[in-house]
Chains A and B, each alone.
Chain A
């Protein structure tokens, strides 16, 4: 019997473990499938991490190490190269080479499995299937961890942050990035990444464009992009051909929740992560979720913050039990809001932090939280974009809550 088991030793798992320990739980186990702690941060060797948390610009490995260090200092236990096979409330089954198959009882479980990249197949891009097509993160790993080049002339589809970061990375390694094509009329990445990774290197960003053909038998030989109409369908006659050996895909991240789904945990069709309440508890008793397994974040600082909440709540759960929920109020995404996390709030809670994404770009608009016909809170934003997560903390609700965007005030 272990008090709290944390599935995943990346940004979320580490922060959850530290906060859980600091809330009085001593018996914690982190189960990590990779060969070291830190998760995907290990391959993010660019800087820009930790501006909110540490007021410093750290690289991914540096940011991870701050937390790994805290985990070591507290003597929190972890197992590496270990794959969780199944979970259920208060039970985790995992496998590794050293211990074989291990079944552990757990007081509480925190889901911190992170996310994966959407593959080419999900897009049905026509053309051939040669070598040289990588998801951006796979290319990043090959370059930054293994130290190999993945191509000399590249086109990138999707302007998610990993794609933007990789545009710069490839350029710095001497490759030529011919184009970044984005099917939406706006980028899916952070503004600062557009500026620092594309603009600074003169890499063209083709908004409202997608890849319509891939050529090459064994290795990519060329890629054709075309403009898309309002329904994201390619417009004939707008094709632009590129001769290249590599196509990187940065077309979206998907929370990894196969374990959650197998355990019968309710998932949101919008986020791909579990439906949670304001204490980040899922539909399963004593199972919490945080980080990119819950919903895809833009900044790791917010992952750490959210995961620490999950760690504290799991500690509360095993030490004293959570306060009675007395039922839930639902949080509904209104105009301009794609989703919120949490999706519901315990009636017994007094305040809650809502994280959400907008559904398109807004200028000079307000975030409005309402409940029972009354405005709870209003925040003004100069710009909001789908690539950046928004947050609003609320209190004083009387019933179900709506979060919406109000323009032109």
Chain B
């Protein structure tokens, strides 16, 4: 097949998750021509779409590792960027709770590790301090490591914010385009995709679960990425308030363990487990896994009511065999940002900075004179003061028409989500939460489909849940 030949690019970023978009966001501050290529139908369709949504403080990674450095730096950047990029972020603090004397000793080790990693403000709280802060924790709790800089974030909002701001600063975003090969070419590389051959001076690999394959295309075999599955249950907003902080248990070799956390949108989430996945697209949940998640969560918070679960889901970790993030330039002009498992979401702005600077330096790029620093979020009428909400509806009546009753999402928000690139039901759901609530889209799905069809011109029969092959109507 003859593909369209595109040239004149300085950087092609492969992957539209929080890492790829963060790199695009950072690089778009330079006076270069960038495009981001994503194989799925939307930004945030891979590991970014299903994870704990925690902005970790940085107590867990080994001192001196990239994970440690970039986590702590990323956490601080997210605090700084929250307003500028309208992130759905709340610094709610976290507790790592200990149930035994041995756990308490582990906490002391974590405190020391956290200090060495440069995590600000951490301390160990006594049993009574812990329980006065979080009265619904198990009475068996002995002490806790307190992490004031830990926060919760809507992971999609981070990727959308980076992508939208990058686009405002000139980055081209190409969706539904899979990278098939990368070849050295005059002045750089030819990136052959399912739709085009893109000539570029440099390539950044942020391909998540597939980063090992993309690496091999340009630099030969290097590392390997294994998918590790994590399962979650999400509880109704009626359960909000059972915990205010993010509650971790003492980590084990398998990771940070099952957490219980509020989400920025007011639900309670429990998870994840950590098991080998059947493949890089294996997002199935298994009965045993969910049972384990609920039992572990109940160890931290015994009064959790799992009859209030509104959905369960699984996400995949891009686990590298090296054990640490892989960020570097194995061949001139080809940059890896790979093996980004937890705390990858927290670290993503710092990864953007680090991998982006490598690319900028390699390209000898100069800063743009005019940069749009601010990205505005989609206006949410339900959270506006009454008078502002009235004015908004008066100026655009669509904001008065509630489509998703559970999350109180108006037609105006859905139309704006579509204007910003949502082309599927999931795209709308992740941007404005229509269908994310307790009825799980039972009522609003047909109406969202109609609005999608009306606004995009896609016939109803072709409206997808999340990309080709997931058509709703047969």
Q: Which of B310, B390, B443, B474 contacts A245 (CB 8 A)?
A: B474
Collect the chain A residues with CB atoms within 8 Å of residue B398's CB: 97
Given contacts A121-B312, A141-B446, A149-B473, are A101 and B408 in contact (CB under 8 A)? no
Using a CB–CB distance below 8 Å, which chain B residues touch chain A? 233-234, 238, 281, 283-287, 289-290, 307, 309-313, 386, 389-390, 393-394, 397-402, 405-406, 408, 411, 438-443, 445-446, 450, 460-461, 464-474
Which B residue's beta carbon lies closest to that of A152?
B474
Q: Are A218 and B468 in contact (CB under 8 A)?
A: yes
| Interface flag for A219 (CB, 8 Å) | yes
Q: List 7 A-B contacts (CB under 8 A).
A: A33-B402, A117-B442, A119-B310, A121-B310, A129-B313, A145-B446, A218-B466
Query: Which interface residue of B400, B411, B470 has the most chain A CB atoms within 10 A?
Result: B400
Contact B309 A121 (CB under 8 A): yes
Report whether A137 and B442 are in contact in the complex, using a CB–CB cutoff of 8 Å: yes
B442→A138 contact, CB < 8 A: yes
Q: Tell me the nearest residue of chain A to B471, going by C-beta.
A: A131
A131-B472, A219-B469 known; A124 vs B402 contact (CB < 8 Å) = no
> B474, A97: Cβ atoms under 8 Å?
no
Q: Which 5 A-B pairs have the closest CB atoms?
A: A121-B311, A218-B469, A119-B440, A97-B397, A83-B402
Query: Which A residues fall within an 8 A CB radius of B?
Result: 33, 81, 83, 85, 95-101, 116-117, 119-122, 124, 126-132, 135, 137-138, 141-142, 145-146, 148-152, 212, 214-215, 217-219, 234, 245-246, 258, 261
Contact B285 A130 (CB under 8 A): no
Q: Looking at the complex, which one of A100, A145, A152 makes contact with B390 (CB distance below 8 Å)?
A: A100
Closest to B286 in A: A126
Q: Which of A101, A116, A218, A246 meets B443, CB within 8 Å?
A: A116
Closest to A218 in B: B469
A142 close to B405 (CB less than 8 A): no
- The reply to whether B439 and A119 form a contact with Cβ atoms under 8 Å apart is yes
- Closest CB in chain A relative to B271 CB, distance in Å: 12
CB closest chain-B residue, reference A215: B284
By beta carbon, the residue of chain B nearest A121 is B311
* Chain B residue at minimum C-beta to C-beta distance from A214: B284
Given contacts A95-B389, A124-B309, A126-B287, 8 further A-B contacts (CB under 8 A): A83-B402, A100-B389, A121-B310, A129-B283, A132-B474, A149-B473, A214-B284, A219-B470
CB–CB B446/A149 < 8 A:
no
Cβ–Cβ contact A100 & B393, under 8 A: yes
Q: Point out the residues of chain A lying under 8 angstroms from B307, CB to CB.
A: 122
Partner of B400, one of A100, A146, A246: A100
If the complex has contacts A130-B470, A146-B460, A148-B473, are A122 and B310 also in contact, measured as CB distance less than 8 A?
yes
Are A150 and B397 in touch, CB under 8 angstroms?
Answer: no
Query: Across the interface, which residues of A come within 8 angstroms of B439, CB to CB?
Result: 116-117, 119, 135
Q: If the complex has contacts A121-B311, A217-B281, are A150 and B473 also in contact, measured as CB distance less than 8 A?
A: yes
Alpha-carbon separation in the docked complex, A83 to B400 (Å): 9
Residues in A neighbouring B386, C-beta threshold 8 A: 101
